[in-house]
Structure 1
Amino acid sequence: MAITAAMVKELREATGAGMMDAKKALTETDGDFEAASDWLRTKGLAKAAKKSGRTAAEGLVAVAVNGGTGVAIEVNSETDFVAKNGEFQTMVKDIANAALGVADVEALKAATIGGKAVETLITDKIATIGENMGLRRMAKIEAEQVVTYIHNSAADGMGKIGVLVGLTGGDEAFGKQVAMHIAAANPAALGEADLDAAIVEKERQIQIDIARESGKPEAVIEKMIEGRMKKFIAESTLLGQAFVINPDLTVEAAAKEAGAVVTGFIRLEVGEGIEKKEEDFAAEVAKAAKG
């Protein structure tokens, strides 16, 4: 029987199994949906379905560099305990290295490690470790020199915050200082031209409203807004921020002194933007006791 993409999709949605596993199950059972579901269960691959709805906001960010190319990835788990698991860390490291050869996160999910797709590899780990996991994102940078920094390191090249800095000129020591600055200051963009125009405009409108509340003349208000927006842009951009190593200099000025130009950066933090569900542990225990 011919196995269609629609059949694979239906089985994946019902079981939470990976695409290749779902296809193999249907092939092994000649397209019988129920038999394929049972096949996945016997292989431990359908266990992921029960866990797929649980929030995975912990995990690790990992970085990898090859020449002038650097990548950062985030792989999530439900608990910090799993992030300390050697099996999980090995998987994350392998995925980071695989990311060097692909363009985006979707391509990374389909990339193979030891003959197995990354997406399937993660599904297998969900079944064996017993927690929901997911490859959330990746980011890539290319530069003359790429320097990395990991904050709250859990193992070599991975931790809670991963930073990559692209440099032209300068040295690794300076690059590391800039990377540490990025980890601490969390700039929104490299320079003014890279800031999201919508964010800048929203801030401008807020400052206009605040300034007009003062009741001062329009000419004074305009100067107030100009000064406040200049400060906002400086504080939001890496090049405009006061350098944490020497606050008397901006990062851009410090780079110039070091004979370097910062050409780009990536900063990934575990769980950034994920809404974490607050669990009432006592209530959970009481509920389990009643069940």
Structure 2
Amino acid sequence: MAEITAASVKELRERTGAGMMDCKKALAENSGEMEAAIDWLRAKGLSAAAKKAGRTAAEGLVGIAVEGNRGAMVEVNSETDFVAKNEQFQDFVGNVAKLALAHGTDIDALGNAQYPTGGTVREALTENIAKIGENQSLRRAALLEVGEGAVVSYVHNQVAPGLGKIGVLVALESSAPAETLNELGRQIAQHIAAAHPLALTGDQLPSELVERERGIAMEKAKESGKPHNIAEKMVEGGLAKFRKENALMSQLFVRDNKTPVADVVAAAAKEAGAEITVKDFVRFQLGEGIEKEQSDFAAEVAAAAGTAKAEPVA
């Protein structure tokens, strides 16, 4: 077998735009012959994949897998919503969610995990990009586990089992019957999907978020013209309200909009005759935090048709 040098991999990558590992594999498959490796990449559709890598991928699917007392969730993005309906893409997201149960949440480690049909997750993703024709990316993963109890999932806008636009995992620690935990967990997960709590309790809210709210509350208090001692109470009252409304256990349960979630859990525990603790939760909403590119669709169509008007020359 011919020696594959770093220089040859670099040259092939520059000439084709393909990923480094794909270039290395192409050279290995073709005894180090550059032109043959280029043809190999073109035949696999991999040289085109890199060209798509710069396009914004903010659609796609959230996938969930639960096994025993463990649950994993991943987000895989694509450029358009049409890809979410593609069976090949759906299979990929489902398989990666299952792999996250074994390999954890580190995206690099998950990308290097062996994919069920051969190769790695990263290689399978590259093949998807080539075949489907859109940029795709494995964005994030989460894993919850309890020693005793249940990890319960909920998927909103489900397009296939365990796949949708919003995914939630809830970890309940308890010796209560599985049926009780699954029903309670499902209700809490649905609440989380709708109410979007930012932490389990008010004390667990990110400090930078609380300080930002403090600054906003202080500005409001100043503008009110109230005396300093009253303004301080207004600030503390505003922060208390913020903590209550954004922490899961103090939020009002969406099913009746009057009972705190903590009381819902306590009632279920009393009925089951066993303590129930909400250990943790995680919520993924597809594309949250991704800045989507804004485009002029009419201009794109005109440009594609060759009818776009030239810009006037000053």
TM (norm. structure 1) is 0.93
Q: How is 1:205-284 mapped onto 2 (pairs within 5 angstroms)? A: 205-259=215-269, 260-284=276-300
Structure 2 residue aligned with 1:158? 163
Shift of 1:16: 4.9
Structure 2 residue aligned with 1:112? 114
Tell me which amino acid in the other structure corresponds to 1:233.
Answer: R
Matched, 1:285 2:301: yes
Question: SS state of the match for residue 259, structure 2?
Answer: strand
Q: How many residues align?
A: 291
CA 148–11 in structure 1, closer or farther in 2 if over 3 Å, else same: farther
Greater radius of gyration (CA): 2
Shift of 1:89: 0.8
Aligned counterparts of 2:15 and 2:191: Cα–Cα separation in 1: 46
Tell me which amino acid in the other structure corresponds to 2:299.
Answer: A
Moved more, 78-87 or 175-184: 78-87
Shift of 1:9: 6.2
Aligned counterparts of 1:264 and 1:92: Cα–Cα separation in 2: 23
Matched, 1:123 2:126: yes
Shift of 1:100: 0.7
CA 270–27 in structure 1, closer or farther in 2 if over 3 Å, else same: same
Aligned counterparts of 1:146 and 1:12: Cα–Cα separation in 2: 44
Shift of 1:50: 2.1
Moved more, 12-21 or 197-206: 12-21
Query: Cα deviations across residues 128-162 of structure 1 (Å, max 9, x unaligned)?
Result: 11111111111111123100000000000000001
CA 173–213 in structure 1, closer or farther in 2 if over 3 Å, else same: same
The correspondence for 1:204, drawn from 173, 196, 214, is 214
The correspondence for 1:145, drawn from 147, 150, 154, is 150
Shift of 1:284: 1.0
Matched, 1:90 2:106: no
Structure 1 residue aligned with 2:27? 26
Contact 1:168 1:263 in 2 (8 A): yes
CA 156–16 in structure 1, closer or farther in 2 if over 3 Å, else same: farther
Shift of 1:231: 0.4
Tell me which amino acid in the other structure corresponds to 2:96.
Answer: I
Aligned counterparts of 2:7 and 2:63: Cα–Cα separation in 1: 34
Contact 2:19 2:50 in 1 (8 A): no
Aligned counterparts of 2:288 and 2:100: Cα–Cα separation in 1: 20
Query: Cα deviations across residues 20-60 of structure 1 (Å, max 9, x unaligned)?
Result: 42211122345455653343112221121221121111110
Aligned counterparts of 2:47 and 2:12: Cα–Cα separation in 1: 10
Aligned counterparts of 1:19 and 1:123: Cα–Cα separation in 2: 12
Structure 2 residue aligned with 1:74? 75
Shift of 1:267: 0.6
Query: Cα deviations across residues 77-115 of structure 1 (Å, max 9, x unaligned)?
Result: 111111011111111111111111112221111111122
Give the aligned CA root-mean-square deviation in angstroms. Answer: 2.0
Contact 1:59 1:82 in 2 (8 A): yes
Query: Cα deviations across residues 59-81 of structure 1 (Å, max 9, x unaligned)?
Result: 10010011111111011111111
Aligned counterparts of 2:216 and 2:41: Cα–Cα separation in 1: 55
Structure 1 residue aligned with 2:272? none
Question: SS state of the match for residue 56, structure 2?
Answer: coil
Aligned counterparts of 2:258 and 2:11: Cα–Cα separation in 1: 60
Structure 1 residue aligned with 2:56? 55
Aligned counterparts of 1:10 and 1:148: Cα–Cα separation in 2: 47
Contact 1:122 1:134 in 2 (8 A): yes
Shift of 1:255: 0.9
CA 132–106 in structure 1, closer or farther in 2 if over 3 Å, else same: same
Any gaps of 5 or more consecutive residues in structure 2? 175-179, 270-275, 308-314
Aligned counterparts of 1:200 and 1:13: Cα–Cα separation in 2: 47
The correspondence for 2:136, drawn from 120, 130, 133, is 133
Aligned counterparts of 1:54 and 1:132: Cα–Cα separation in 2: 6
Structure number with greater CO (CA < 8 Å, separation at least 6) is 1
Contact 1:242 1:250 in 2 (8 A): yes
Shift of 1:7: 5.5
Question: SS state of the match for residue 246, structure 1?
Answer: coil
